[in-house]
Amino acid sequence: MFTKAIVRPPGPNLAEGLTTMDLGAPNYRRALQQHAAYCEALEECGVTLTRLEADEQYPDSTFVEDTAVVTNRGAILTRPGAASRAGEVERIAEVLSRFYSELHFIHPPGRLDGGDVCEAGCEAGCEAGYEAERGARSHFFIGISERTNEAGAQQLADWLASHGFSSTFVDIRGVKNMLHLKSGLAFLGDNRLVVSDALADRDEFRGHELVRVTAGEEYAANCVRVNDRVLVAAGYPGFTGTLQDLGYPTIALEMVEFRKMDGGLSCLSLRF
Ligand code: CIR
């Protein structure tokens, strides 16, 4: 159950952020509208928002998820893999210190982006949802990517272990079009993982029920279960139908402008 989330709207210089996409520059006005609808959806799911001011010094700062890993037992600030995003962390640390009495940090030579970290309920094999619902041992998948290195992943794994959590590394270097692990992976609860085709055969996910993303709808894999609903990118009817057939009420959100900057639904908030 999430009760809180931190969000930051994009600034007018969103287009100056990093991207591997070739979809043109985002339209700022539409990006603001899409962000507003995203915030409204979180509130509809019962989440109280901490709304930060846009920060023009960091054009990627709307993607707050990358700056921290927040759990029900503590929070750790990341050390983003992209140098241009390093300064985002300090500002998020100030905000998180309102909610957590102690904050931890990833240290050099570690690099870690929150988008590479997927909390996935209890360890594979335990009774579905049972432990996770009681706030006990969650399991985390940690992507090793172009942004997250082994040292960062190991520091996070050690920190998680010290808080009673287990974790598994998933190496996604070399997987095409996958900036972060969560670009192709999401946890739905009920021992279910959403996976894009590129990750579907990985041993790491055995023990979970896999929900495959419809071919051609890979971007939709970055969906977010928020309490009773699943937020899903608009425009992916095959995958949205799959979620609904599984019994999840969905909220479809336009993400076109954020997609142009490699952003997905999960990266627009820190949920806890
Ligand atoms: C970046 O390249 O860092 C941003 N333009 C996009 C970050 C997306 N974050 C995420 O998926 N967690």
Candidates 34, 36, 56, 181; CA nearest to 120 is 181
Give the distance, in angstroms, between the CA of residue 87 and the centroid of all CA atoms in the same chain: 19
Using a 6 Å cutoff on CB, does residue 59 contact ligand 1?
Answer: no
Does residue 18 line the site of ligand 1, with CB under 6 A?
Answer: yes
Q: Which residues are catalytic?
A: 180, 267
Distance 118 CA to ligand 1 centre (A): 15
CB neighbours of residue 87 within 10 Å: 14
Q: What tokens does 34 get? A: 């899409």
Q: Tell me which residue has its CA closest to atom 3 in ligand 1.
A: 18
How buried is residue 151: exposed, middle or buried, by Cβ count under 10 Å (0-12/13-18/19+)? middle
Closest atom of ligand 1 relative to the 17 alpha carbon: 5
Q: What is the average pLDDT across 196-205?
A: 97
SS3 annotation, the chain? CCCEEEECCCCCCHHHCCCCCCCCCCCHHHHHHHHHHHHHHHHHCCCEEEECCCCCCCCCCCCHHHHEEEECCEEEECECCCHHHCCHHHHHHHHHCCCCCCEEECCCCCCECHHHEEEEEECCCCCCCHHHHCCCCEEEEEEECCCCCHHHHHHHHHHHHHCCCEEEEEECCCCCCCCCHHHCEEEEECCEEEECHHHCCCHHHCCCEEEECCCCCHHHHCCEEECCEEEEECCCHHHHHHHHHCCCCEEEECCHHHHCCCCCCHHHCEEC
In which band, very low, low, confident or very high, does the pLDDT at 214 lie, cut at 50, 70 and 90? confident
Q: What would the mean pLDDT of 15-33 be, rounded to a whole number? A: 97
**Each residue's pLDDT tens digit, 48-85:** 999 999 999 999 999 999 999 999 999 999 999 999 99
Does pLDDT of 31 surpass 90?
Answer: yes
Spatial CA neighbour of 258 closest among 196, 179, 189 = 179
Residue nearest to atom 5 of ligand 1 (CA): 18
| pTM over 0.85, yes/no | yes
Q: Which amino acid type is present at position 157?
A: A
Choosing from 261, 265, 271 the residue with most ligand 1 atoms within 8 A of its CB, the one to mutate for a pocket test is 261
| Contacts with 41 (C-beta within 8 Å, 6 or more apart), sequence order | 226, 229, 231, 251, 253
Q: What are the residues facing 212 on neighbouring strands?
A: 195
Average pLDDT over residues 202-227: 96
Nearest residue (CA) to ligand 1, atom 7: 263
Beta carbons within 8 Å of 23's beta carbon, 6+ residues apart: 259, 260
Residue 133 confidence (pLDDT) above 80: no
